[in-house]
């Protein structure tokens, strides 16, 4: 087969070539990008060092300016005409004229000086070489004269230029106070204005080609001189770089910062002479003047290397990879058309060719494994008396152990998932269990019935190993994470042969019964939880506790009934599993008999439903919660029924009083005998239902009838006897207590009302 056809015909060649290209492309990108970044960083660092060095040289400008101002001040102080004008107390114009001429002569030797002035506060006289009046300079002169804190004072400002008629000028004003050091009788001031452009020309000579802006600021962030004249005296204190520069301890330095969204290199140098800070700002993109050329050159080199790599990849692909040619030739030889030859995918052909063979082998192995699992499941459940010889031979030779796996809250699991999904989850749990335990011990997992699986594990020791328990815990964790299921497990005893494996399975069932008492989601090991030689002591049925529970329910005491349920559950916890189930059935039947009266509200429906659901409960805690709910509901129903009955009794008593109030012997004792209740209980019940005592209610009924009879002319004594009160004096006392008037007064008031109505 010709090599030039391999890239066209076989996808594996194309995949290899693409892999070569991707690898080389990645290497080219990393190397070129790294070199480019390294070059950019080193260049920026070099530019920063250059800018820092440049500004360090610029900082000497401050010293030069200060020295020149000091020299000029000394020259003026040594001039007789100047000193005569400074100390003149008579405001002599001739002295002032001579002083101005001297100042102009001196200024002519210093082209960078914009103006020189003299201020004599004793004579209130201010002269200068530009014709500026005292009123224009009074603010600065008065402030400096008042403070006198230093000989050398500096102010950046804009001044008018009447001599030239050009409006205003940016100047750096230096104010010298000779009296600060000398014994002058007055505090004169020498004013020297230096043109700001002169300072900018001096520092501009050191400006780097990459610097976008170069300026000087003071300690408050005010611009003293700037390459842009419009920025003079502008405050840059709010700029992000200003605080960083002023706070820096080093006298010189540089750093990178973003200004208006663009990366800039800021370099600075601090002058110790004038407290000036020289600052240079350059945009990062302008630092490398040939950055674009460098980018294109890098891309060109990378492209050239990529093309060379492409050619090398093609050559390597054709000369280093050799598939199984004979096999491929046989398979491809069956293809007839050129289109088929061009579309061939040798990986797919090999996969398709061997997939059928592996599929058939897998199907045979899967069928055999499924048959053996089914046989083991039948043997565990007891439907098969003994394992087959093949199964015994497969598991022969070592000790065996059975693990019983059950899905907790199975009824909820079955309601929440379809039958197909349930089957898939059972299958997945079996596979995960085989994979986890099979890492250390040969095993097999099979589904016994819904919600229950069994694992047969081959061991090399007589006791359950800790590693097996760790893997079972991992299986619980996986089931909880993947399927949101909780698994409980019972680990049986270790047996020596396959014919005793059912015994291990029964031990696993016995160990799993502990879930009923201890709760779900745990692993119960038979060997550690049970002693086969010790039988569990059988406990008697807690009849006394049942009686207390029935009494509490009948009394309608919800809190007490729930407490009695807790006592019953604690007693049942001391029984074994079979005893506990038996006593719970007995309790349900006993409660049903006690409260089944044939009515719809007797609570027997709750007990019937509980009895039916009893086999579905997995733990005693769940049963206890259900019994507490049932006891509370039964208590409420009993209380409601008793309340209705009591209400009916009190209604009958009140109706009897309404009809028989005239009986003198009508009393609470007599009424209690009629309704077959005790006197005290009827009294408490009557007051609870009506809000008043029985005697108060009887008196109220009798007196209301007496009020009606007082409308007639019958004697009051007869009226008292008609309403059942034979003692007239007691009738008078009782009537006045209730109505605050005597019966006679009440009758009189009724007569008066009738007369008033007649008139």
Q: pLDDT tens, 670-704?
A: 888 888 878 887 888 788 778 888 888 888 888 88
Token pair for 169: 């000028």
Q: What sign for the dihedral angle of Cα 154, 160, 165, 170?
A: positive
Q: Of 46-60, 214-228, 318-332, 399-413, where does mean pLDDT reach its minimum?
A: 318-332
Token pair for 422: 């349930």
Sheet strands (E) in 275-397: 277-283
Q: Which residue has the tokens 């690898």?
A: 23
Mean pLDDT of the 288-308 span: 73
Look at residue 463 and give its three-state secondary structure. coil
Taking the C-alpha atoms of residue 363 and residue 527, their distance in angstroms, rounded to an integer, is 39
pLDDT > 70 fraction of the chain, expressed in percent and rounded: 80
Look at residue 235 and give its three-state secondary structure. strand
Mean pLDDT of the 742-749 span: 85
- Per-residue pLDDT, 532: 43
Mean pLDDT of the 7-26 span: 70
DSSP 337: S
pLDDT tens digits, residue range 66-125? 888 888 888 888 888 888 888 888 888 888 888 888 888 888 888 888 888 888 887 778
Q: Which residue has the tokens 């230029």?
A: 161
- pLDDT grade, residue 350 (50/70/90)? low
Taking the C-alpha atoms of residue 749 and residue 729, their distance in angstroms, rounded to an integer, is 21
Question: What are the start-end ranges of the H helices in 78-92?
Answer: 80-87
- Per-residue pLDDT, 291: 58
Looking at the predicted structure, is the pLDDT value of residue 487 above 90? Answer: yes
Residue 590 vs residues 214, 547, 549, 561, 676: alpha-carbon distances, Å: 102, 10, 11, 15, 29
Looking at the predicted structure, is the pLDDT value of residue 21 above 80? Answer: no
Q: Tell me if 527 sits within 8 A of 463, measured CB to CB.
A: yes
Q: Of 157-161, 491-495, 580-584, 751-755, where does mean pLDDT reach its minimum?
A: 751-755
Looking at the predicted structure, is the pLDDT value of residue 61 above 60? Answer: yes
- Per-residue pLDDT, 685: 79
Average pLDDT over the chain reads 78
- Per-residue pLDDT, 534: 45
- Per-residue pLDDT, 338: 46
pLDDT > 90 fraction of the chain, expressed in percent and rounded: 4
Taking the C-alpha atoms of residue 313 and residue 24, their distance in angstroms, rounded to an integer, is 9
Taking the C-alpha atoms of residue 396 and residue 389, their distance in angstroms, rounded to an integer, is 10
> CATH for 363-529?
3.30.70.270
- The four Cα atoms 219, 224, 228, 230 give a dihedral, to 10 degrees, of 100
- pLDDT grade, residue 600 (50/70/90)? low
pLDDT tens digits, residue range 510-559? 888 888 888 888 999 988 766 544 455 677 888 888 888 888 877 778 88
CATH pick for 661-758 out of 3.30.70.2170, 1.10.10.60, 1.10.3720.10, 1.10.287.890? 1.10.10.60
Higher pLDDT, 419 or 685: 419
Look at residue 125 and give its three-state secondary structure. strand
> What is the separation, in whole angstroms, between the first and last Cα of the chain?
143
Looking at the predicted structure, is the pLDDT value of residue 331 above 70? Answer: no
Assigned CATH topology for domain 81-198 = Beta-Lactamase (3.30.450)
User: Can you identify the CATH homologous superfamily of domain 1-78+207-321?
Assistant: PAS domain (3.30.450.20)
Please name which of 431, 373, 409, 381 lies closest in space to residue 487, comparing C-alpha atoms. 409
Q: Tell me if 702 sits within 8 A of 722, measured CB to CB.
A: no
Q: Tell me if 176 sits within 8 A of 155, measured CB to CB.
A: no
Sheet strands (E) in 197-243: 213-217, 223-226
| Helix or strand (DSSP H, E) at 405 | strand 399-407
Higher pLDDT, 20 or 120: 120
| Helix or strand (DSSP H, E) at 538 | none
Taking the C-alpha atoms of residue 63 and residue 523, their distance in angstroms, rounded to an integer, is 88
Q: CB within 8 A of 350, min separation 6: which ones?
A: 327, 331
- The four Cα atoms 358, 362, 365, 371 give a dihedral, to 10 degrees, of -160
Token pair for 639: 């209380």
- Per-residue pLDDT, 472: 92
- pLDDT grade, residue 144 (50/70/90)? low
Higher pLDDT, 689 or 148: 689
Taking the C-alpha atoms of residue 319 and residue 746, their distance in angstroms, rounded to an integer, is 135
Looking at the predicted structure, is the pLDDT value of residue 741 above 60? Answer: yes
Q: Of 180-194, 566-580, 651-665, 676-690, where does mean pLDDT reach its minimum?
A: 180-194
- Per-residue pLDDT, 382: 66
List % helix, strand, coil for the chain (3-state, nearest 5): 60, 15, 25
Q: Tell me if 522 sits within 8 A of 515, measured CB to CB.
A: yes
- pLDDT grade, residue 731 (50/70/90)? confident
- Per-residue pLDDT, 488: 93
Same fold for the pair 363-529 and 661-758 = no
Q: Of 153-162, 178-187, 197-206, where does mean pLDDT reach its minimum?
A: 178-187
Please name which of 693, 734, 713, 748 lies closest in space to residue 723, comparing C-alpha atoms. 734
Q: CB within 8 A of 328, min separation 6: which ones?
A: 346, 349
Higher pLDDT, 336 or 158: 158
Q: Considering the entire predicted model, what is its pTM?
A: 0.43
- Per-residue pLDDT, 533: 42
Residue 676 vs residues 448, 653, 667, 668: alpha-carbon distances, Å: 64, 12, 14, 12
Please name which of 122, 170, 119 lies closest in space to residue 144, comparing C-alpha atoms. 119
Domain ranges (residues) in the chain: 1-78+207-321, 81-198, 363-529, 557-643, 661-758
pLDDT tens digits, residue range 240-292? 888 888 888 888 888 888 888 888 888 888 887 778 888 888 877 666 555 56
Taking the C-alpha atoms of residue 405 and residue 490, their distance in angstroms, rounded to an integer, is 7
Taking the C-alpha atoms of residue 491 and residue 240, their distance in angstroms, rounded to an integer, is 71
Looking at the predicted structure, is the pLDDT value of residue 426 above 70? Answer: yes
Token pair for 318: 């054709």
Q: Tell me if 219 sits within 8 A of 247, measured CB to CB.
A: no
């Amino acid at each position: 087969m010709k090599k030039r056809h391999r890239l066209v015909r076989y996808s594996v060649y194309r995949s290899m070539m693409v892999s070569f290209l991707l690898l080389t492309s990645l290497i080219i990108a990393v190397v070129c990008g790294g070199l480019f970044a390294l070059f950019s960083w080193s260049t920026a660092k070099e530019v920063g060092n250059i800018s820092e060095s440049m500004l360090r040289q610029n900082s000497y400008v401050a010293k030069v300016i200060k020295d020149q101002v000091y020299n000029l001040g000394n020259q003026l102080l040594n001039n007789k005409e100047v000193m005569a004008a400074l100390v003149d107390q008579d405001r002599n114009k001739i002295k002032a004229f001579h002083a101005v001429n001297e100042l102009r002569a001196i200024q002519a030797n210093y082209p960078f000086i914009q103006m020189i002035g003299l201020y004599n506060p004793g004579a209130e006289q201010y002269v200068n070489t530009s014709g500026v009046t005292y009123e224009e300079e009074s603010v600065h002169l008065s402030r400096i004269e008042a403070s006198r804190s230093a000989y050398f004072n500096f102010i950046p400002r804009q001044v008018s230029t009447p001599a030239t008629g050009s409006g205003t000028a940016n100047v750096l004003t230096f104010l010298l106070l000779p009296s600060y050091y000398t014994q002058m009788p007055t505090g004169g001031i020498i004013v020297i204005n230096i043109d700001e452009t002169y300072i900018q020309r001096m520092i501009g000579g050191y400006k780097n080609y990459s610097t976008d802006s170069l300026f000087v600021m003071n300690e408050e962030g005010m611009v003293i001189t700037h390459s842009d004249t419009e920025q003079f005296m502008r405050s840059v204190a709010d700029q992000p770089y200003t605080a960083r520069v002023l706070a820096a301890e080093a006298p010189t330095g540089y750093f990178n910062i973003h200004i208006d969204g663009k990366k800039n290199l800021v370099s600075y140098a601090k002058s110790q002479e004038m407290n000036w800070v020289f600052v240079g700002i350059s945009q990062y993109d302008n630092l490398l003047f040939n950055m674009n050329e460098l980018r294109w050159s890098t891309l060109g080199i990378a492209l050239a290397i990529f093309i060379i790599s492409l050619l090398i990849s093609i050559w390597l692909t054709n000369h280093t990879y050799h598939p199984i040619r004979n096999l491929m030739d046989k398979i491809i030889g069956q293809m007839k058309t050129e289109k088929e030859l061009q579309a061939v995918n040798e990986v797919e052909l090999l996969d398709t060719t061997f997939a059928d063979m592996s599929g058939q082998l897998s199907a045979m192995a899967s069928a055999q494994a499924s048959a053996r699992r089914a046989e083991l499941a039948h043997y565990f459940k007891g439907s098969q008396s003994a394992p087959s010889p093949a199964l015994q031979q497969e598991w022969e030779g070592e000790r065996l152990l059975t693990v019983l796996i059950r899905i907790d809250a199975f009824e909820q699991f079955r309601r929440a998932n379809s039958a197909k999904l349930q089957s898939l989850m059972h299958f997945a749990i079996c596979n995960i269990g085989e994979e986890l335990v099979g890492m250390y011990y040969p095993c097999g997992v099979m589904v016994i019935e819904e919600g229950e699986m069994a694992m047969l594990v081959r061991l090399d020791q007589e006791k359950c190993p800790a590693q097996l328990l760790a893997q079972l815990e991992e299986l619980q964790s996986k089931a909880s994470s993947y399927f949101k299921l909780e698994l409980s497990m019972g680990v049986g005893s270790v047996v020596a042969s396959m014919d005793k494996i059912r015994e291990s399975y029964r031990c696993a069932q016995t160990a799993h019964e502990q879930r009923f008492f201890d709760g779900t989601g745990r692993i119960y090991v038979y060997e550690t939880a049970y002693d086969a030689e010790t039988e569990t002591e059988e406990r008697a049925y807690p009849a006394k506790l049942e009686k207390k529970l029935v009494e509490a329910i009948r009394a309608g005491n919800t809190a007490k009934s729930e407490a009695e349920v807790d006592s019953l559950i604690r007693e049942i916890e001391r029984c074994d599993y079979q005893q506990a189930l038996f006593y719970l059935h007995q309790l349900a039947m006993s409660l049903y008999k006690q409260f089944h009266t044939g009515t719809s509200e007797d609570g027997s429906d709750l007990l019937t439903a509980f009895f039916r659901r009893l086999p579905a409960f997995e733990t005693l805690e769940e049963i206890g919660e259900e019994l507490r709910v049932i006891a509370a509901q039964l208590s409420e129903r009993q209380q409601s029924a008793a309340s209705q009955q009591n209400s009916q009794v009190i209604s009958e008593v009140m109706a009897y009083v309404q009809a028989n109030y005239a009986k003198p012997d009508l009393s609470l004792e007599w009424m209690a005998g009629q309704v077959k209740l005790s006197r005290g209980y009827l009294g408490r019940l009557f007051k609870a239902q009506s809000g008043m005592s029985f005697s108060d209610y009887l008196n109220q009924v009798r007196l209301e009838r007496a009020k009606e009879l007082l409308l007639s002319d019958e004697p009051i004594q007869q009226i008292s006897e008609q309403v059942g009160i034979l003692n007239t004096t007691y009738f008078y006392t009782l009537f006045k207590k209730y109505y605050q008037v005597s019966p006679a007064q009440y009758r009189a008031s009724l007569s008066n009302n009738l007369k008033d109505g007649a008139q």
